[in-house]
């Protein structure tokens, strides 16, 4: 039985009950309330519902599915590794690992050719923290950007710029300096005392914010870091491998960081893996620390399966020139989104983005949710900000870089229709929906389902 028939054979109520009881009641409730189909399988830009329905995936798991779902070349590499890998023991150097490091050295800026492997973005954020503390042992302070995201494990939470997700878990902020996004002056001031080990920054701030910084931001930050011996850590977990129209987002500014974080799109969505790329200078500084020991920067990542998938994904990105495609095809999408903003100022603030890292900054959470639901009803999945407390959340459009011009056109036509539908809703209704959205997790689930006219039962 194929995976798709196995899912199709399950009763929807039963799946939601299992999800709600054993894992994620909020996700179960949202699936039940919105009537969104459970996905049975996916291919290219399309995901297929349990009932045979098809939808265009412009959410892409927030950037994971960069080369589309089930990319043939990556799939073949994974299957081959499954059959031929000599060992899955982490730390083993087999040909696929050497292949991956060779490819990374070719596409990364010169000098970033020392690597450490992990399984997730959060894990490599912690490896970068360890490297920074080792390389600058006399410094304890870290600079982060307000709203920045580097993962949710305890160490990664120390450098999380989203206070609401950090404060209950992370240690006190005494060694943390939080600067506003895009404010190089604040970074310069923060590192001036030469007591900061590292600045963590996303070259384009992702999350529910999606902010492209001013052109001089990264060069100014890099200069301030260089002048004060502070390490610059560029988190390219969401921006890397072409999403912004260049292989890496830092290429827009010509800046070369000391440490770079890579994950998400790296294996085409098949196997989780994450890579820290560092300069030899960082490593040789770190080795001089009394805290250094071999393996201090290692994690469990780097199975044969994951490195083979990563190498194959990089080849697809490079050989199909996907960064350039993100730039050209992305222009059409961004123009369409800008047109929507001009035509619907009552609902939309702007259309931030670069390449195919795009979105709509909405006037309030009800606009974001209603567009998202209207688009879903028209067979388009978008990337919800997952943040109803924000005043102007950004609804994200992150299609695979293999997306066709026709698929983009289809999305823009659906967006027009969704916004026309929204235009016919009165302002009081929008305010009421925002009020409800902000309290939805505290409302009785049965009431939420009733309000959404769902006939499913909450029995978890
Ligand atoms: C920029 C950035 N950094 C780090 C992470 C954390 O990655 P993970 O969820 O694999 O821990 C993410 C995940 O969304 C991210 O977007």
Cα–ligand 1 centroid distance for 424 (angstroms): 38
| Partner residues linked to 56 by β-bridges | 46, 380
Specify the pLDDT at position 174. Answer: 67
CA of 62 to the centre of ligand 1 (A): 9
- pLDDT bin (cut points 50, 70, 90) of residue 5 is very low
Tell me which DSSP letter residue 59 carries: S
pLDDT above 70 covers a percentage of the chain that reads 95
Take atom 7 of ligand 1 and give the residue whose Cα is closest.
Answer: 121
- The alpha carbon of 317 and the centre of ligand 1 are apart by a number of angstroms equal to 20
Is pLDDT of 256 > 50?
Answer: yes
Atom of ligand 1 nearest to the CA of 202: 1
How far, in Å, from the CA of 261 to the mean position of ligand 1? 10
Nearest to 150 by CA among 196, 97, 215, 205: 205
pLDDT of residue 152: 87
**Is the confidence at residue 113, as pLDDT, over 90?**
yes
Cα 201 to middle of ligand 1, angstroms = 12
Collect all residues with Cβ–Cβ distance below 8 Å to 454 and sequence separation of at least 6: 32, 33, 35
Q: Separation of 68 CA from ligand 1 center, angstroms? A: 19
Q: Within this chain, do residues 347 and 394 fall inside the same structural domain, yes or no?
A: yes
Residues 384 and 259 occupy one common structural domain: no
Ligand 1 atom nearest to CA at 236: 1
pLDDT at residue 50, rounded to an integer:
82
Q: Which atom of ligand 1 is nearest to the CA of 151?
A: 6
Residue 124 belongs to a domain with what CATH number? 3.40.640.10
Residues 99 and 45 in one domain: no
Does 216 lie in the same domain as 147? yes
Question: Can you tell me which atom of ligand 1 is nearest the CA of 207?
Answer: 16
| Lowest mean pLDDT segment, chosen from 229-233, 264-268, 349-353 | 264-268
What whole-number distance in Å separates Cα of residue 78 and Cα of residue 74? 6
Separate counts of helices (H) and strands (E) for the chain? 18, 15
Query: Which of 184-188, 364-368, 421-425 is modeled with the greatest confidence?
Result: 184-188
Residue 333 confidence (pLDDT) above 60: yes
Taking CB atoms and a 6 Å cutoff, what residues make up the pocket around ligand 1? 62, 120-122, 149-151, 202, 206, 235, 237-238, 263
Q: Which of 122, 233, 257, 266 to mutate to test the pocket of ligand 1 (most atoms within 8 A of CB)?
A: 122
Q: Indicate if the pLDDT at residue 1 is higher than 50.
A: no
- Asked whether residue 241 is assigned to any structural domain, the reply reads yes
Q: Decide if 457 is inside a domain.
A: no
Q: Which residue has the higher pLDDT, 52 or 224?
A: 224
What's the confidence (pLDDT) of residue 3?
Answer: 46
CA of 210 to the centre of ligand 1 (A): 14
Is there a single domain that holds both residue 195 and residue 314? yes
- Considering the domain boundaries, does residue 441 fall inside one? yes
**Which range is least confidently modeled, 28-42, 144-158, 251-265, 412-426?**
28-42
Q: What is the DSSP string of 420-437?
A: HHHHTS-HHHHHHHHHHH
**Per-residue DSSP letters for 31-55?**
HHHHTPPPEEEEEBTEEEETTS-EE
What is the residue with the minimal CA distance to atom 16 of ligand 1?
Answer: 238
CA of 241 to the centre of ligand 1 (A): 15
pLDDT at 80 over 80: yes
What confidence category does residue 207 fall into, taking pLDDT thresholds of 50, 70 and 90?
confident
Average pLDDT over residues 323-337: 97
Residue 281 and residue 231 share a domain: yes
pLDDT of residue 281: 98
Give percent above pLDDT 90 in the chain: 70
Look at residues 312, 397, 398 and name the one whose alpha carbon lies nearest to residue 71.
Answer: 312
Digit-coded pLDDT (tens) for 269-320:
999 999 999 999 999 999 999 999 988 998 778 888 999 999 999 999 999 9
Q: Tell me the C-alpha distance between 248 and 109, whole Å.
A: 9
- Asked if 341 and 417 count as a contact pair (C-beta separation under 8 A), the reply is no
**Range 17-22 average pLDDT:** 90
Structural domain harbouring 240: 72-319
Dist CA 279 CA 298 (whole Å): 16
Report d(CA 153, CA 123) in Å as an integer: 7
Q: Which residue has the higher pLDDT, 442 or 89?
A: 442
- Identify whether residues 40 and 80 lie together within a single domain: no
Task: Find the CATH number of the domain harbouring 31.
Answer: 3.90.1150.10
pLDDT greater than 80 at residue 342: yes
Do 331 and 442 fall within a single domain?
A: yes
Q: How confident is the model at residue 335 (pLDDT cuts 50, 70, 90)?
A: very high
**pLDDT number for residue 173:** 66
Least confident interval from 3-17, 166-180, 199-213: 3-17
Considering the domain architecture, whether residues 36 and 92 belong to the same structural domain is answered as no
Residue 460 lies in a domain: no
Which tokens hold the place of 460?
């978890």
Q: Which residues of 115-128 are buried (b: 16+ CB within 10 A; e: fewer)?
A: bbbbbbbbbbbbbb
| pLDDT tens column, 374-407 | 999 999 999 999 888 889 999 999 999 999 999 9
Which one of 118, 120, 148, 149 would you pick to mutate in the ligand 1 pocket, going by the greatest count of ligand atoms within 8 A of its CB?
149
Element (H, E) at 178: strand 176-179
Question: Which of the listed residues 319, 347, 378 is the one where a domain comes to its end?
Answer: 319
Whether residue 80 sits in one domain with residue 58? no
- Average of pLDDT values for 367-376? 94
Question: Considering only 4-13, 62-71, 321-330, 338-347, which range has the smallest mean pLDDT?
Answer: 4-13
DSSP secondary-structure letter at 175? G
Residue by residue, what is the 3-state secondary structure of 362-403? ECCHHHHHHHHHHHHHCCEEEECCCCCCCCCCEEEECCCCCC
109 domain-assigned: yes
Confidence category of residue 39, pLDDT binned at 50, 70, 90: confident
Q: Which residues contact 6 (CB under 8 A, 6 or more apart)?
A: none
pLDDT for the residue numbered 172: 61
Identify each DSSP E strand in 263-386 by its residue range.
274-279, 348-350, 353-354, 357-362, 380-382
Residue 123 CA: which ligand 1 atom is closest? Answer: 11
Same domain, 269 and 280: yes
Q: Best of 63, 66, 120, 151 to mutate for ligand 1, by most ligand atoms within 8 A of CB?
A: 151
Q: Give the distance (Å) from ligand 1 centre to CA of residue 200.
A: 13
More confident: 432 or 44: 44
User: How far, in Å, CA of 42 to CA of 67, rounded?
Assistant: 12
Choosing from 319, 348, 374, the residue where a domain stops is 319
Per-residue model confidence as pLDDT tens digits over 220-255? 999 999 999 999 999 999 999 999 999 999 999 999
Q: Is residue 458 part of a domain?
A: no
Confidence (pLDDT) at 208: 85
CA-to-CA dists, residue 202 to 64, 271, 347, angstroms: 16, 23, 28
Domain boundary (284, 319, 354) is at 319
pLDDT of residue 12: 82
Give the integer Cα–Cα distance in Å for 437 and 91: 46
Q: Does residue 356 surpass a pLDDT of 70?
A: yes
> Which of 84-98, 180-194, 204-218, 441-455 has the lowest average pLDDT?
84-98
The domain total for the chain is 2
- Return left, alpha or beta for 268; rule: phi > 0 is left, psi -120 to 50 is alpha, else beta: left
Closest ligand 1 atom, residue 263 Cα: 10
Ligand 1: which of 238, 250, 275, 359 to mutate, judged by most atoms within 8 Å of the beta carbon? 238
Report which protein residue has its CA nearest ligand 1's atom 4: 150
**How many whole angstroms from 86 Cα to the centroid of ligand 1?**
30
CA distance 457 to 147: 37
How far is Cα 182 from Cα 162, in angstroms, rounded to an integer?
16
Is 326 found in the same domain as 313? Answer: no
How many CB atoms within 10 Å of residue 97?
A: 21
Give pLDDT, residue 334.
98
pLDDT band at 89 (very low <50, low <70, confident <90, very high): low
Distance from residue 75's CA to the centre of ligand 1 (Å): 23
Alpha-carbon distance of 167 to 173, in angstroms, equals 9
**Ligand 1: distance of its center to the CA of 99 in Å?**
25
**What is the dihedral angle through the alpha carbons of 122, 401, 323, 418, rounded to the nearest 10 degrees?**
-90
**171 CB neighbour count, 10 Å cutoff:** 12
Looking at the domain assignment, is residue 222 inside a domain? yes
Q: Which atom of ligand 1 is nearest to the CA of 239?
A: 1
Ligand 1 atom closest to 148 (CA)? 1
Nearest CA to ligand 1 atom 3: 150
Cα(214) to ligand 1 centroid in Å equals 23
């Amino acid at each position: 039985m194929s995976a798709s028939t196995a899912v199709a054979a399950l009763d929807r109520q039963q799946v939601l009950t299992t999800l709600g009881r054993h894992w994620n009641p909020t996700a179960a409730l949202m699936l039940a309330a919105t009537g969104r189909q459970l996905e049975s399988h996916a291919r290219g830009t399309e995901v297929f519902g349990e009932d045979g329905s098809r939808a265009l995936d412009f959410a892409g798991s927030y950037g994971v599915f960069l080369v589309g779902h089930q990319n043939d070349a990556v799939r073949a590499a994974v299957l081959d590794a499954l059959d031929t890998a000599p060992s899955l023991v982490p730390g083993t150097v087999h040909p696929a690992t050497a292949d991956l490091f060779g490819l990374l050295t070719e596409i990364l800026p010169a000098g970033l050719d020392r690597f450490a492997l992990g399984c997730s973005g959060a894990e490599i954020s912690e490896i970068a923290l360890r490297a920074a503390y080792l390389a600058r042992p006399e410094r304890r302070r870290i600079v982060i950007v307000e709203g920045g995201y580097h993962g949710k494990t305890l160490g990664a939470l120390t450098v999380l710029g989203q206070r609401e997700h950090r404060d209950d878990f992370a240690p006190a902020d005494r060694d943390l300096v939080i600067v506003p996004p895009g404010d190089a002056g604040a970074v310069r001031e923060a590192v001036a005392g030469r007591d900061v080990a590292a600045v963590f920054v996303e070259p384009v701030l992702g999350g529910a914010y999606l902010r492209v910084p001013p052109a001089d931001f990264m060069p100014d930050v890099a200069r301030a870091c260089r002048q004060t011996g502070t390490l610059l850590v560029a988190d390219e977990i969401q921006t890397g491998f072409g999403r912004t129209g260049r292989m890496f987002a830092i290429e827009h500014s010509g800046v070369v960081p000391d440490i770079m974080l890579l994950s998400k799109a790296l294996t085409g969505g098949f196997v989780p893996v994450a890579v820290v790329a560092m300069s030899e200078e960082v490593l040789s500084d770190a080795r001089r620390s009394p805290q250094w020991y071999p393996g201090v920067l290692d994690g469990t990542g780097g199975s044969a399966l994951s490195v083979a998938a990563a190498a194959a994904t990089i080849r697809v990105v490079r050989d199909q020139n996907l960064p350039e495609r993100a730039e050209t095809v992305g222009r059409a999408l961004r123009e369409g989104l800008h047109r929507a903003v001009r035509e619907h100022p009552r609902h939309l603030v702007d259309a931030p983005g670069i390449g195919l890292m795009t979105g709509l900054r909405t006037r309030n959470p009800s606009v974001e949710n209603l567009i998202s639901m209207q688009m879903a009803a028209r067979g388009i999945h978008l990337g919800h900000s997952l943040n109803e407390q924000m005043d102007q959340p950004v609804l994200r459009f992150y299609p695979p870089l293999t997306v066709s011009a026709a698929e983009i056109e289809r999305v823009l036509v659906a967006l027009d229709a969704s916004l026309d539908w929204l235009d016919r809703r009165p302002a009081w209704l929008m305010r009421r929906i925002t009020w409800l959205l902000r309290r939805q997790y505290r409302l009785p689930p049965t009431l939420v389902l009733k309000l959404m006219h769902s006939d499913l039962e909450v029995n978890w």
